[in-house]
Amino acid sequence: MAEELSYKPKQGEIPTEPGVYRFRDAQGRILYVGKAKNLRARLSNYFAPLRTLHERTRRMVTTAASVEWTTVGSDVEALQLEFMWIQEFKPQFNVRYKDDKSYPYLAVTLADEAPRVIVTRNHKIPGARYFGPYPKVWAVHDTIDLMIKVFPIRTCSDASYKKAMATGRPCFPGQIGRCGGPCSMTVSIAEHRQMVDDFVAFLSGGDERFRVQLTGRMRAAAAAMDYEAAAGYRDKLAAIDAVLSKSALVLAADMNADLFGIAEDELSAAVQHFIVRGGRVRGVRATTIDKELEIGGGELIDQVLQRVYGGAAPSDIPRQIIVPQLPEDAEELQLWLRERRGRKVDISVARRGRKAELMKTATRNAQQALMLHKTRRTSDYVARTQALTDLQEALGMTEAPLRIECYDISHLGGTNVVASMVVFEDGLPRKDQYRSFHIPETTDDTDSMHQVLMRRLAYLDQPDPPDDAEAGTRKRRFAYPPQLLLVDGGQPQVAAAAAALAESGHREIALAGIAKRLEEVWLPGQDFPVILPRTSEALYLLQRLRDEAHRFAITHQRTRRRRDITTVLSEVPGLGQARIKALLRHFGSVARLRQATPEEITALPGIGPKLAAAVHQHLARP
């Protein structure tokens, strides 16, 4: 591979002004669009020696056949042009969003004579007022059902409304008391409009006013001994409380903000967009992103904000946007959003207080969404089949790896070394066949990997037990040979595993390693890794295997540490299991318990001075 790209611009050709650049392939298709405050400084990063580039950046620049740029007058103009071209050309190597599904909204058709409330995914109804988005359709219906008890506005279709207007008979919701009845003139159009205005005001954040009004009316009715009316107001208050419980007050009552929680790994990112209006979370939008090039942190947030607000109406852009990390061009983004909104927009990071707590919640939801996204991909039958086929081709195997075993080493500062083995068959985990290993003596991770694989491969040479031997079932499963051994690590770990396969005489088993930093796939005896496309189902499967092996190893190590200290404490005379659990629960960790004084141990109920001194002395032994 040549060290220099044939289309690299000559020195001094690239301007130093702000602008937007585009990489094109030999057919002229745009592969990547990016912006820069200084085009020369940014593009020089792509034309560094190929061996120094990130593997995926290297794939992009070697796929491209040309680069071109357009200078603009300011950084804000560069941002605007980048957004426009990404939306128009949808380049292969820019981030890809997986939120193509339309989210359900609660809409009030204010342009109608008698406005109605509906559930819709159409965000372009003329004159409608929207609330949401909601994560699920049933969440919108639940909200409407509760709100109609307090504000009985129209929910029927236009056809039902016109029929009721012609006959004078109320529609079905009006007959069962779920609508005030503007169609049958049970209430006037003006009275119904007032109820609609109150409905919209409540959802816009004016909930406290209605609580005060209903409470006052309930008390007045009770004082007048009109208990039936008082009960009605009581039920309406209960409905309001039920709605509010679904959107707890998280920020100041006058706070309108959008908050973004993000979780990412090397291949994907999940974004949780919390829409806060009137201090309450009024909507949640979830987005999953596939990352083709190495992108993260501030650059990812930059792309997310462009995506969310690039086509948004001015009323949908809030005064404050809270992000986990400020993008490099935060000031330019603020100016761009100010132009779109017509008023000031502030992008900030939540450091403490309620905003920081809400950010933790959003981030936790994003982490769960990312895990669910990866799990669903590897659980889908078509995706699993594609993953196994892609693996067979990428690793040069003669058959698809229907059984894959993945190994990971875990230790605590070089001590308490354990290993895990997880098994996937047909692309799905077989948790009943997971195994864990304790490694009493080792020199390093590669030695640990060699020991574990030698122990595991020895089972392949044992004869099958008799069919009626109940104890033989587990051994027979463990003796089932895998088509692929996967190790967590790069060249050193793969070399150690290859040595174990050679020494045990099982060269027929394919071997690969996956390095976490760059998600590279290493094969034995190779100087360069195999680079799978970031959107590849095969890479998602390998990543899931590696993550599952790591999780299982950590779990096993923690269990051993807990069991070890429990065993040590059980040797103290007079210290039973209940007191051992109470000690560990109170001090939180073994290290803190070892550092505790006899007086601190005595402070725990049920442990006297003598027993505390015995515990302290026993743990202080070398």
Q: Can you tell me which residue has the tokens 């100087």?
A: 527
Q: What pLDDT shows up at residue 215? A: 77
Among the residue ranges 95-99, 186-190, 199-203, 263-267, the one predicted with the least confidence is: 95-99
| Pair 271, 304: CB distance under 8 Å | yes
User: What is the arithmetic mean of pLDDT over 96-115?
Assistant: 73
Among the residue ranges 49-53, 538-542, 599-603, the one predicted with the least confidence is: 49-53
Order of strands across the sheet with 105-109?
117-120, 105-109, 128-131
In terms of pLDDT, which residue wins out, 304 or 94? 304
| Pair 239, 249: CB distance under 8 Å | no
Q: How far apart are CA 277 and CA 347, in angstroms?
A: 16
| Pair 153, 195: CB distance under 8 Å | yes
Q: How far apart are CA 497 and CA 424, in angstroms?
A: 19
Q: What pLDDT shows up at residue 533? A: 77
How sure is the predictor about 197, in pLDDT bands with cuts at 50, 70 and 90? confident
How sure is the predictor about 498, in pLDDT bands with cuts at 50, 70 and 90? very high
Query: Closest Cα partner for 489 from 463, 512, 508?
Result: 512
Which domains does the chain carry? 19-94 (3.40.1440.10), 105-205 (no CATH), 257-375 (3.30.420), 381-558 (3.30.420.340), 571-619 (1.10.150.20)
Q: Residues 357, 359, 365, 368: is their CA dihedral positive or negative?
A: negative
| Residue 577 clears pLDDT 80, i.e. is over it | no
Q: Which amino acid is at 320?
A: Q
268-304 pLDDT, tens per residue?
788 888 888 777 777 777 788 777 666 767 888 888 8
Work out the angle at residue 432's Cα, subtended by the Cα atoms of residues 429 and 434, and round it to the nearest 5 degrees. 70
Helix-strand-coil percent breakdown of the chain, rounded to 5? 45, 20, 35
Q: How far apart are CA 247 and CA 133, in angstroms?
A: 13
| Pair 254, 320: CB distance under 8 Å | no
Q: What pLDDT shows up at residue 288? A: 81
| Residue 482 clears pLDDT 70, i.e. is over it | yes
SS3 314: helix
CB neighbours of 562 closer than 8 A, spacing ≥ 6? 584
| Residue 315 clears pLDDT 50, i.e. is over it | yes
User: What is the arithmetic mean of pLDDT over 488-513?
Assistant: 90
Q: What pLDDT shows up at residue 138? A: 65
How sure is the predictor about 472, in pLDDT bands with cuts at 50, 70 and 90? very low
Work out the angle at residue 501's Cα, subtended by the Cα atoms of residues 499 and 502, and round it to the nearest 5 degrees. 65
User: What is the arithmetic mean of pLDDT over 47-60?
Assistant: 78
| Pair 482, 492: CB distance under 8 Å | no
In terms of pLDDT, which residue wins out, 534 or 288? 288
| Residue 553 clears pLDDT 70, i.e. is over it | yes
| Residue 473 clears pLDDT 50, i.e. is over it | no
Q: How far apart are CA 165 and CA 188, in angstroms?
A: 12
User: What is the arithmetic mean of pLDDT over 603-618?
Assistant: 80
Percent of the chain exceeding pLDDT 70 equals: 81
How sure is the predictor about 486, in pLDDT bands with cuts at 50, 70 and 90? very high
153-192 pLDDT, tens per residue?
887 877 777 777 777 777 767 766 667 667 766 778 888 8
Q: What pLDDT shows up at residue 381? A: 67
In terms of pLDDT, which residue wins out, 417 or 499? 499
User: What is the arithmetic mean of pLDDT over 604-614?
Assistant: 81
CB neighbours of 495 closer than 8 A, spacing ≥ 6? 446, 524
Among the residue ranges 42-56, 209-223, 358-372, 444-458, the one predicted with the least confidence is: 209-223
| Residue 45 clears pLDDT 80, i.e. is over it | yes
Cα R_g (the chain), whole angstroms:
32
| Residue 576 clears pLDDT 80, i.e. is over it | no
Query: Closest Cα partner for 515 from 484, 489, 545, 496?
Result: 489
Q: What pLDDT shows up at residue 112? A: 83
In terms of pLDDT, which residue wins out, 502 or 577? 502
| Residue 428 clears pLDDT 80, i.e. is over it | yes
Tell me the DSSP string of 193-228.
Answer: HHHHHHHHHHHTT-HHHHHHHHHHHHHHHHHTT-HH
317-353 pLDDT, tens per residue?
888 999 998 988 888 889 888 888 888 999 999 888 8
| Residue 369 clears pLDDT 50, i.e. is over it | yes
382-408 pLDDT, tens per residue?
777 888 888 888 888 888 888 999 999
| Residue 379 clears pLDDT 70, i.e. is over it | no
SS3 68: strand
| Residue 310 clears pLDDT 50, i.e. is over it | yes
Q: What pLDDT shows up at residue 405? A: 93
Percent of the chain exceeding pLDDT 90 equals: 6
How sure is the predictor about 471, in pLDDT bands with cuts at 50, 70 and 90? very low
User: What is the arithmetic mean of pLDDT over 146-150?
Assistant: 73
Q: Can you tell me which residue has the tokens 């725990």?
A: 604
Burial 243-253 (b: 16+ CB within 10 A, else e): bbeebebbbee
What integer best gives the mean pLDDT of the chain? 79
Q: How far apart are CA 547 and CA 538, in angstroms?
A: 14
